[in-house]
Homo-oligomer: A and B are copies of this chain.
Amino acid sequence: MNNDRFLKACRREPVDCTPVWFMRQAGRYMQEYQAVRAKHSILDVCKTPDLAAEVTLQPIERFPLDAAIIFADILLPLEAMGLQLEFAEGEGPVIHNPIRSRAAVDRLAVIDGQELRYVYDAIRVTRRALDGRVPLIGFAGAPFTLASYAIEGGGSRNYVATKQLMYREPETWHRLMDKLARVVTGYLRQQIHAGAQAVQLFDSWVGCLAPDDYAEYVLPHVQLIFTGLKREGVPLIHFGTGTARLLGLMRKAGGDVIGIDWRVPLDVAWKTVGYDVAVQGNLDPVALFAPLHEIERRVEKILAEAGGRPGHIFNLGHGILPNTPVENVAAAIDFVHKLSTR
C-alpha cells in the first residue's frame, strides 16, 4: 500500500498528515461521472463491475484523496430481497412495493449475498486497478435507513409510516430489522472477502429518532452487525446524520470510527464518543460552495478541534452535493493535507 494514512488513522495510529476522502466523491459534480451516466443508469453502473470500477476511480485519478469508496447504492440489497427498486430521474429512489405489513416482511428473502456478486466483482476489479495507490472502502446501508426506504417507498421527511410500524407492531419491526441486519452483515463480510479494506455502515436517516427509540428499536440490530464483522479485522466505520444526541449510543452499537456531521463540533463529538475510537468528519457539504478562503478557515477549524490526536479522518458531514465546484473539492483536499502536516 503506497498510501496507508486512512487505514492508520482508522486504527488511531500517527500519520504524516490527516487523511481525507469524501462521501459520494464519485458523483454528479464530476463531468467524468456525468459522461458515464449519460450512457448508463445508476443501476447499470452498479451492476457492471467495469463501469462501477471506472466511476470509483474517477475521483482518485483527479484528486489526491486518501481512500476510494466502491461505487454502489445502499438500496441494492433491498432489490435483491424482493423490492422493486427504481431510480426515477430527479426524484431519487422509488420502491414500488413498499413494506407495510407483517406478511410483506415475511416475504422478504434473507439473501446470502450472492445476488450482489456484481458488487464483489466491482471491488476485485477496482482493487486491481488501484494497485495499492489508496485503500478501498466497502459500504452498506444500516437497517434503520434501509427499513425507512423499504417502508416509505422512497425518501421521507417525517418517517410517519416507518415509525408507525415501529410503534404499532414492534414485533414486525424487529423481525424486519433482524432480516436486514443479517443480510447487511453477510453483504459487508463478502465485500471484505472480495478486497474491501474498510467498510462503512450508513445510517443516514437515523437522526429522526429520539435516543430512547434508537436504543430500543435500532441499537441491538446494529450491534449484531458490528459484532459479526469484528473478526474480519478491517476498520468498521459507523455513520449517521442529525445524531447530536445519538453519538454515545451509536458508539455503543459499534464501530472503530464514528462519523460526525457538521451540527456537532468535532471536539465535542470526539469527547462524547470517547478517545478510544477514531472519528470521521465533519465539514458541511454546502461549505464546499463557499469562497476558498472560507473553506480554508473551516478546514483549519475542524483540524484544530481534532487537536492533532491520532484517529481523525477528514470528511464531509454527508455526501458531496451535485453542483459542488470541482476546484473547491480539490482545494479542500489540499487544505486538509497542508494544514495538518506534522
Contacts and interface: CB of A to CB of B under 8 A. Distances in A.
A62 interface: no
Contacts of A209: 263
Interface residues of A, number: 33
A262 interface: yes
B321 A160 contact: yes
Interface string A153-170: 000001110011001100
A326 interface: no
B262 A158 contact: no
Given A242-B263, A244-B245, A244-B263, A286 B207 contact: no
A298 to B, nearest CB: 9
Interface in A203-261: 207-213, 242, 244-245
A218 to B, nearest CB: 14
A263 B210 contact: yes
A271 B290 CA distance: 35
Interface in A135-162: 158-160
Interface string A9-24: 0000000000000000
Contacts of A308: none
A240 to B, nearest CB: 12
A287 B158 CA distance: 11
Given A167-B291, A168-B291, A265-B211, A286 B244 contact: no
A30 interface: no
Contact of A245 (B264, B291, B323): B264
6 contacts: A163-B287, A163-B289, A167-B291, A210-B265, A212-B265, A212-B301
Interface of A: 158-160, 163-164, 167-168, 207-213, 242, 244-245, 262-265, 268, 284-287, 289-291, 294, 301, 321, 323
